Structure 1
């Protein structure tokens, strides 16, 4: 099921933001865990328990552990979904980078990359979804086409020039 987050609910009192698509993915994960994975694992626990001595029953011990992991994840998702603020409004300035924006950049080697600025619960390096709280996300936020940003990393500084900003999902 998609990317899993380990993000803890923010205790600073600041809202945690998420895109509508990111929120749907978390809801779908919770639904899948509750309707598919949990019943399957509960059945596995029941089947393994019927085999007798539970103290040395590896299948029973494993199934109980997996069921507890599912329950922890469901508890986390329930609390997290309640705490998230879904960002649905389109930004007022079409040429500026805001939460939810797709940003195309050019680095010093003329390599083009496209990032989407998202909440920490929906980051996914493969798809270019980067956290608004990450160094790159923070550097790009509120910038506009033509701006250059510098990000200091342990492996050295990287510079990006913003070449495009969109607030609508690019056509595939």
Structure 2
């Protein structure tokens, strides 16, 4: 069962709205093409039908994910251990002069390291799950081993 934060649910609902609009536009293009005398053998017709199938499949996937997902509520969670929905302040022990960084632990498919959003599937996210304040965690990267110390854990802000 996938885990999502409330923000992850909102992102998927927004994506569903975009896809449903696109699906209506594609259906209208097919209808207009038929009324205009285009044949099902046209390349453009095939492209629109292929995109329509792709959009329909993505809508089904997102709807299924939303039906079965577990939504975490960070405000109701204990902050003694790192978990999905928590914000974690880390000290990079390999770079002692760098200021601490704050990362949000997010759901299974919400990770975005460039935005400091770690999923449990990422190397650092996996190492942090269950960690407590003061604990050191390590990961191996292409640039070599990295060590971090957990400085603080709090509910992650939404947005």
Is the structural similarity TM-score above 0.5?
Answer: yes
The count of corresponding residues between Structure 1 and Structure 2 is 154
- In the alignment, the residues of structure 2 paired with residue 168 and residue 150 of structure 1 have an alpha-carbon distance, to the nearest angstrom, of 22
2:11 corresponds, among 25, 28, 51, to 25
1:81 corresponds, among 66, 83, 86, to 66
- In the alignment, the residues of structure 2 paired with residue 145 and residue 38 of structure 1 have an alpha-carbon distance, to the nearest angstrom, of 48
- Quote how far apart the aligned CAs of 1:161 are: 1.7
- In the alignment, the residues of structure 2 paired with residue 114 and residue 168 of structure 1 have an alpha-carbon distance, to the nearest angstrom, of 10
- In the alignment, the residues of structure 2 paired with residue 130 and residue 51 of structure 1 have an alpha-carbon distance, to the nearest angstrom, of 51
Root mean square deviation of aligned Cα: 2.1
Matches within 5 A, 1:22-171: 22-34=8-20, 36-49=21-34, 50-55=36-41, 57-88=42-73, 90-92=76-78, 94-107=79-92, 108-110=94-96, 111=98, 112-169=100-157
- Quote how far apart the aligned CAs of 1:95 are: 4.1
Runs of 4+ in 1 over 6 A off after TM superposition: none
Give the gaps of 5 or more residues in structure 2.
Answer: none
- Quote how far apart the aligned CAs of 1:46 are: 2.2
> TM-score, with normalisation over the residues of structure 2?
0.84
- Quote how far apart the aligned CAs of 1:53 are: 3.2
1:120 alignment partner, SS class: coil
- In the alignment, the residues of structure 2 paired with residue 60 and residue 97 of structure 1 have an alpha-carbon distance, to the nearest angstrom, of 51
> TM-score, with normalisation over the residues of structure 1?
0.78
